[in-house]
Homo-oligomer: A and B are copies of this chain.
Amino acid sequence: MNSQSIENYLKVIFNQAIVTDEVNTTGIAQALEVSLPSVNSMVKKLAGMGLLEYEKYKPLKITEKGRQTAAMIIRKHRLTEMYLVEKMGFGWEEVHDIAEQLEHIQSPEFFDRMDELLGHPQRDPHGSPIPNKQGHIAILEYRMLSDCKPGEKVELKALAHTSDEFLRYLNSKELALGVQVQVVEVEVYDKNMTVDYEGRREVLSALVCSKLLVS
């Protein structure tokens, strides 16, 4: 029954709450590209609905109910992304905008069917966990590739960033989830990493390596 606006706010707040437990108004405004007063009034509304704890000039805290509600939206988003990639043949760089719209569809049956057809996947195409129907999210403890040492051989499991440009960059390097990567060398000066995978050798920047989650 929540509007799309409410759902979008909640999703952003939830995602920020993962980083720091306490969320600030400005961050929400930036993420949603909306003015501060807009956030302020919506935050009051969400608090009135019991989804947030709000006190003037204090950082926001998401309630259990808010967390639960947000998890269900994220579940729909990530199931959709997985469905688009697995069943409809889209690339992982194409699915975000479509999922952003589909996540607001009100139809448990629709998403349950996706879930079934996919065999109850645990991760979306970018390696992010899909919350289960109870709103529980498996916490996956991956390391950043940038924290690995020369000689280590690891598998690319997830991405810490999923912008189109980054995904297209990874496509151009044929870096996909599941690829086995061996660290050859780390440049002391700029932390550039030379890595081997799939029979090729590439030099990856520290920025890129910090977005590649491995185990």
The residues of A with any CB-CB pair to B shorter than 8 Å are 84, 87-90, 94, 97-98, 101-102, 105-107, 109-110, 113-114, 117
Contact = CB atoms under 8 A, between A and B. Distances in A.
A117 B88 contact: yes
A98 B114 CA distance: 13
Nearest to A101: B105
Nearest to A83: B88
A97 B101 contact: no
Contacts of A110: 84, 88, 98
Nearest to A87: B87
14 contacts: A84-B110, A88-B110, A88-B113, A88-B114, A88-B117, A89-B113, A89-B117, A90-B113, A97-B107, A98-B107, A98-B109, A98-B110, A102-B102, A102-B105
A29 to B, nearest CB: 24
Chain A: interface secondary structure? helix
Contacts of A89: 113, 117
Contacts of A94: 109
A49 B89 CA distance: 36
Contacts of A97: 107
A38 to B, nearest CB: 19
A115 to B, nearest CB: 11
Nearest to A89: B113
Given A88-B117, A101-B106, 19 more contacts: A84-B110, A87-B87, A88-B110, A88-B113, A88-B114, A89-B113, A89-B117, A90-B109, A90-B113, A94-B109, A97-B107, A98-B105, A98-B107, A98-B109, A98-B110, A101-B105, A101-B107, A102-B102, A102-B105
A83 to B, nearest CB: 9
A84 to B, nearest CB: 8
Contacts of A114: 88
Contacts of A102: 102, 105
A88 B105 CA distance: 16
A122 to B, nearest CB: 21
